[in-house]
Every structure is written in structure tokens, then in C-alpha cells.
Structure 1
């Protein structure tokens, strides 16, 4: 008797420590999905992921969308792998046969936020039960949709972006007119090179060179006292152009991929970002060196470029945000939200700057506030969060610091004091860029769950019937007599 009680006590202790395999729910019952159905569902998930990645979505958003499509059609063991220029989808359902693996190459990455918004709506409808054939037809319609705006509108919006930057620095009408012409020349140059399929690196060099050439010409006319160029500040003109050429870079997407753990995709985007930024630097340096050779160089400013009146700052920030949204293909809803977030981002920047903190801290605060509010609004209005966030933080890009540092290096003449000042400006620009990326990414991380909570869209398990290849639906039901699951067919 004592021995039996001892064994029972030992068995009780063992079961309290070790899990009993017999207590686990049996998993033999699986939805009936044949290979043809699996291939069609996986192909749709892969193609949606490819277009989303090329339209500017982050790698995490792409993976979530592809997995959601696969699960909606009964594929629970799908693996999705996203790199910088490819998407792979694999399914090993039975564990015995060869897995089904599909891969597609992402050949180009051009932001198209209207298309991205339509794809996100498609993913939501699929999760709500959209039939596979209808989903595939709708996807092909979205994929074939042309860019929302024609080329002249895109070029005009790029020129207006530079004008918005000039307004933030309190530029006069003469300076704004010269800025518009210089930015228009840059936009036309890059559009022509893109039509000739010239790599973006060389397009950045050419655009920066054209910008510097126009700026040096204006500076020379101002030095000669030629009206109406005598009062034009060349630094404002070239700083606005730098912001224009850096506006299309995926700073937020690269930082978000790195933080989310997609190291390969983040590495590719960061490398592309670095190469394109170096293209701008090289174009400006070549232009400044050529100007110095022709004895028409510019005097580097000794102090940072001051901002204009507060109303002009907000007006310029709104114009920049709207212009970015337009040349990224956004619809009217995203344009309005971008304008609002541009004001919010600049308000955060101005408040922190008023507290005598440095530019990097103020830029971080502005990007953080705008991203949190943008994530909440994006969830409520069903617009891509990356679209509104990118447009909101562009007014904070340190174009003036970049140009001040590059001009200082060229005109330093070997003097240590000038070299240190120029290097300090470039370091400040780099710190501001990192602060913008960190603030925007942290804001999206904090704002997304807040948006889901406010919208009443917390993740919860739902028993939704999904179509199978045989025209029936399979739902999993739990019988009253035991824990084992059994499939039940429901005819339409």
C-alpha cells in the first residue's frame, strides 16, 4: 500500500514536470486541398507579395500579406521568404512528398501608393472570404493599373517640392522662382535619363550636376549685380534640389526592415540608399570643382541656414508633403492625410527646437509624432502607413546641411578650421537622417497596435469557411464526446 502511494506520488510529480503526449489534440484532420488549388493560392500570394514589395511596402508587410492569403485558402504550413529583389513561397503540407515552391524576381522598385492601397484592400477582402478565382481576377486588374498621374504632373510636383523647401527657409519670390526653374531642370533631366533606362546612380549624378550648375550660374549673376538675381541666395536653391533628389529614397523602409529582422532586404535597401546618396554627392562635388576651375566658385556659409517665419515653415512643410504624395502616385485621401501629417511633424520639430535641443533630436521627435498619428489614421482610413509617413518626414530632410558640408570641403583650401566645420555639417546631416529613420520606424511600431485597438480590430480567431478545389467548404468542428477534430463538408 505504501509502495503504491509512493508510485502515485512519483507519477504525479512526473506529470507536473513533463508534458504528456497523449494529452495533445490530434491533428490528423486537415482541409482537403489538392495540388492545383494549392498552386493557384500560392501563386496569388507570391504575385501580390511581389507587387507590394515593388510598390514600396516593407518586407514585414509583404510577408504578412502573403501568409494571410495562403491561410485564407487553407494553406497553414506555407513559408514566405522575401529578399531585396525576390519573393519565394514554399508549402510542405504532407511532410512526405516534395514541397511546392514558387519564386518570383522583383525587377524594379517604383513607389506606387495607389496600387499598394488597392492591394491591401484585396488582402482584407480575401481574409473576409473572397473566392479564389475572383481574387485572382481582381489582382490582375490591379497589376495592370497604370500609374495614377501623367509624367508632366509628376515633374511639376517635383518642382513644387523644391519650392516648398524654399518657403520653409523664408525665401523671397525671386528665390522661389529660381528654385522652381532649377528643380524643373533636375526633374526633366532625370525623367529623360529614366526614359533611356539609365541606372539611377548616374541619373542622381546628372541631376545633382545640373542643380549645381544652375546654382553656380545664379550665384555668378548675383555677384555681378544682375537683376533679379542680385538678392537670390544660392544655398536655398541647391538645398531645395538636394531634398528633391533624396525624396524618393526608401529611408523608412530600410530602417523598418532592419529593425523587423529582415537583414538581407534591409542590407539591399541600405546599399541602394547609400549608392544613390553618393550619386548626389558626386554630382555636387563635380559641379563645384568645375565652378572653381572656371573661377566662379561660391563662398561657403559660416552658419546654418536660418528658417523663415513660422507660418511660412508650415506652408512649406504642407506643400512638400503634398508634392511627395503626388509623385508617389497617392490618391486624394492619402494626399490629404499627408498634408495633415506634414503639419504635425513640423509642429513636433518646432516645439523641440524651441526647447534648445539639437536638430537631430528635434527631427526624431517630429518623425515620431507624425508616424504614431499616421499609423493610427492609416489603419482607420485603410491607407498604407508607409505612404503617409514618407510624405510627412520629407520636410525634415537636412538638404542645407548636406550642401553646406560639401561646399565647405571643396572651398576649404586645406585649412583645418574650414575642414572641421564642413565635416561637422556632414555629420549633423547623417545624424538627422538616422534620427528620421529611427523616429518614423518607432512611430509605426507604436502606432499600429493603437490603431488596431481604436478601430476594434484586435486579432481574434474566427471560424470562416474557405473554398476548396472540389467546390465545397471545409470547417473544423470539435465533437462533444472527445477532443479529436473531424472535418465536416458544407456544400454551397
Structure 2
């Protein structure tokens, strides 16, 4: 036993002694190999699934404010460095004045925000936050290890000045491209504010009257109806100017204008003059419709400015309420004074104009509405061409039988696309070209007929409510179509390639 034990001990040798303290190595067996392959396959599957359900960046990571410029004409601004902190307050004051000017001239919240971000980024300010509500614009500048600056500016008045809005757009474009410093930009902005509007008041008033006559002629109101609409619109313009001097609120000014247009039309019906009162009222109230504010409200709602959109929608619906109330009161008085309700609703229609003549009138009328909106003279003809193309699409879609609700929306989407392409090519915002081009798509006749039926007929009150609802749907569809067209055209104008002819290769940070 002892000998056997000794021989077994001697057989281990020195190497075996060194390996005694080591753990025994695990040798793979045939049963273990499939389990290793299955483990690797499961890991690869989990990794692939993780890539599908997880984004590259955490979903709650904050987005840089300069990223808001993506898709706008001011993407990738050229930063002007040097003396940034010493002039931060002057830059913020200039940016707030710029934003207030754009709001007063009718720009949307998204355009104002992108302009503010682009200007502050171009002048080298970082750590900037911008907040826009319905009537106020604020900037917060909070550099590290320094006292933050927060400034607020309130917009208390609005005016029609698309020419001034175009000039501000061009100024921002040149600032972003690095061609204008802050002192020069301040001087140019002051010049824009002091510069008079391109058209005198008498031109605006006359253009509004002739525009109403063109609308009546296009929708089949006849020559007499066109002349009556022109005269009533001229009276509304003079009355509105007189009421504005007395600081009468806009709601009552609009209601008075709608009342006057409707009362004049019903007076001619009372004396049995063969006109179509609905067409006359349509021509008179189209200029009272808040088309520009409605487009801006829809744009703000879609682009993520709920507070601003809510304020503008409230203003829009108050204006609609003023128009509806004016028509309703005038309709009630007209029936009391002897106007036959049946003759008003079933008034004889004139023969529709040939398409080529209607397009010529629309071309001329769009130029006139551009004068009313104070559009720059060089933009009048391009805007009129967009209006003609939009009405042509409306006519073709209507002939295809797609319905009276869808046809205006489709035409408005085409107008939105063309307006963005042409406006940025000419150095102007999209709204300047789009708003005058959509007035022929709005449902003025439906509003009048619905309110007349709702006011004077108890038996057909439901028909009036349905008609008014249909008119509102059409108007909202037109506004949404313009915004949709603007967004569809953005890939074609990416990085501001069409913006005022500026080379996009210059728009790089340095």
C-alpha cells in the first residue's frame, strides 16, 4: 500500500505540482456548444430590437434653439463674432423692435420666431430663449456666470403694410448672410418704420371699390350689381375711416360695414330693381373677412404656437361675428321695410362670364387687393398670376365633381406652394403673396344666404345653420390649404436656396 502510494505520488511530477493550485479548466462538450450559439443569437436579436425601438438621442434631450431654423429661409446663419457680450443689450433691443414690427405688419408667429433666432445667432448671442404669445414678445439672455437679461415688448396695434413686411424680410436675410452689421441694421429698420406706405389712401379706397365690382361680375351678379357693390364698398371705406377717428372698436366698425352693404342691396330689392343681392353683399364683405389673420392663426396652431393661435382665432371669430350680426340686422330691417324674402333668396342670376374673361377680371382684382394690402409694386403682377392659377385649379377641380368644400382647399394648397416659391425668390415672406391670392376662394355668398335664411325664416332656421357651418368649413379649409402648401414647398426651398438670390454656400458659421 505504501509502495503504491509512493509511486502514484512520484508520477505527478513537478509540473503536476505547479498545477495543483489552479482551478480545473472547463472543457466544452458537445452538449454545451448549441447553448453558446443560442446565447449569441439571442444577444444579436436583442440588439437589433433595441435599435428599432430606441432613438439615437434620448427623447427628452433639449433641442438647440438654432435647430428651429431648419426648413426656414434663415437656416445656418453666418455668425458675426467680436464684442458680443458688450453689445448684448443693444442686440436684444434691436431684435425685439424687429419682432414687434413684423407682428404689426401681419407676420405669423413662426416667421417672427425664426427671424429673432436667426438675428441673435448671426450677431453672436448664445444662451438665448424666445417666447411669443398673442400680443407680446420676450427674450431671455442668460450667459454663464453673468446676470441674465429678460426683456418684453407688447404689440398693441396692427396695420396693413405688406411692403414693409417684405423689406423687413430682406433685412433679416442680409443679416443672416453676414452682409449687414448691427448698427447698419438698426438704421435700416428705423428707415422702414419711417417710410410711408406705397399707396395713398384714396388709391386704397378706390381699389377696394373696384375689387368688389370685379368680384360681383365674376360670380354672375351682372353690371348693375357690380356698380352697386362698388358704390357701397366706397361708402363702407369712408365710414370706417370716420369711425376709426372716433376710436370705435373694430368689431362695431366691421358690423356697421356689413350692415351698410346688406341694407343697400336689400333697398334695391325693395324697389324691384333686378339685381342679385347675394352677389352684391359678397363683393362688399370679402374685404371685411380677416383672411390674413385666419391664415396666420391656422399656421400658428399647426406650427406649435397654441397661445398665439388661440388669440388670433378669437379675433377672427369676433370679426366673423361682427359680419354675421351686421348681415342679420340688415336682413331683419329689410324684411320689415317690405323686401320680399323669396325674391332675395331666389333672385335671378346673370349668365356666367366666359372663363377667359373671368380670369382677366381675377388678374385685375388681385392686383387691386394687393394695393389694398399695401403690397410692394414689384410683387403685384406675380401675386396676380398666383391668384389666376389658384382660381384655375379651383375651376378644374370643381368641374371634376370633387365638391364645393374640397375644391377651394385644393386650390388653396396650390396657391400656398406657388406663393412660397415665388415669394422667397423675390425676397418676400409667403404670406404676402398667398393672402391676396385666396380671396376669390372664400365663401362670401354662402355667409349671406345662410344668415338671411337664419334671420327671417323660422321654418328654415336649420338650413341657415347648416349653410353657415358649410361656409366656415370652406373658409377654414382654404386657410389650412395655404399652410399645407407652404409646408409642402419647404423641401424645395431648403436652406434658403431661393431666398432673395443669396448664395447658400455663404451661409456657414465662421
TM class by smaller structure: 0.7 to 0.9
Residue in 1 that maps onto 2:483: 441
Residue in 1 that maps onto 2:267: 217
RMSD between aligned residues: 2.7
**Matched-pair contact (CA < 8 Å) for 2:276–2:348:** no
How far the C-alpha of 1:380 sits from its partner, in A, is 1.1
How far the C-alpha of 1:172 sits from its partner, in A, is 2.5
**Matched-pair contact (CA < 8 Å) for 1:341–1:373:** yes
Residue in 1 that maps onto 2:466: 424
Residues 350-389 of structure 1: matches in 2 within 5 Å? 350-389=395-434
SS at match of 2:275: coil
Q: Aligned match of 1:158 in 208, 211, 225?
A: 208
How far the C-alpha of 1:460 sits from its partner, in A, is 6.9
Residue in 2 that maps onto 1:191: 241
Deviations 1:208-247 (A, max 9, x none): 11112211111112x2xxxxxx332222111111212115
Q: Which moved more, 1:455-464 or 1:384-393?
A: 455-464
| TM superposition score normalised by structure 2 | 0.79
Mind listing any 5+ residue stretches in structure 1 that lack a counterpart?
3-12, 20-29, 224-229, 465-474, 476-492
Deviations 1:142-180 (A, max 9, x none): 111122211111111111221121121133322211111
Residue in 2 that maps onto 1:328: 373
Mind listing any 5+ residue stretches in structure 2 that lack a counterpart?
1-22, 24-46, 58-79
Q: Does 1:267 align with 2:267?
A: no
Distance 1:422 1:308, change over 3 A: farther
Q: Aligned match of 2:104 in 49, 54, 67?
A: 54
**Matched-pair contact (CA < 8 Å) for 1:207–1:283:** yes
Distance 1:120 1:53, change over 3 A: same
Q: Does 1:79 align with 2:129?
A: yes
Give, in whole Å, the separation in 1 of the partners of 2:338 and 2:189. 58
Q: Does 1:120 align with 2:169?
A: yes
SS at match of 2:288: helix
Give, in whole Å, the separation in 1 of the partners of 2:507 and 2:417. 29
Residue in 1 that maps onto 2:285: 242
SS at match of 2:129: strand
Residue in 2 that maps onto 1:301: 345
Give, in whole Å, the separation in 2 of the partners of 1:458 and 1:397. 38
How far the C-alpha of 1:273 sits from its partner, in A, is 0.4
| TM superposition score normalised by structure 1 | 0.82
Distance 1:460 1:75, change over 3 A: farther
Give, in whole Å, the separation in 1 of the partners of 2:471 and 2:204. 27
SS at match of 1:80: strand
Residue in 1 that maps onto 2:16: none
Stretches (4+) displaced over 6 A: 16-19, 303-306, 456-461
Give, in whole Å, the separation in 1 of the partners of 2:373 and 2:316. 17
Give, in whole Å, the separation in 2 of the partners of 1:88 and 1:74. 18
Deviations 1:352-376 (A, max 9, x none): 1001121110001110111101111
Give, in whole Å, the separation in 2 of the partners of 1:371 and 1:393. 9
How far the C-alpha of 1:98 sits from its partner, in A, is 2.8
SS at match of 1:153: helix
Distance 1:366 1:304, change over 3 A: farther
**Matched-pair contact (CA < 8 Å) for 1:406–1:422:** yes
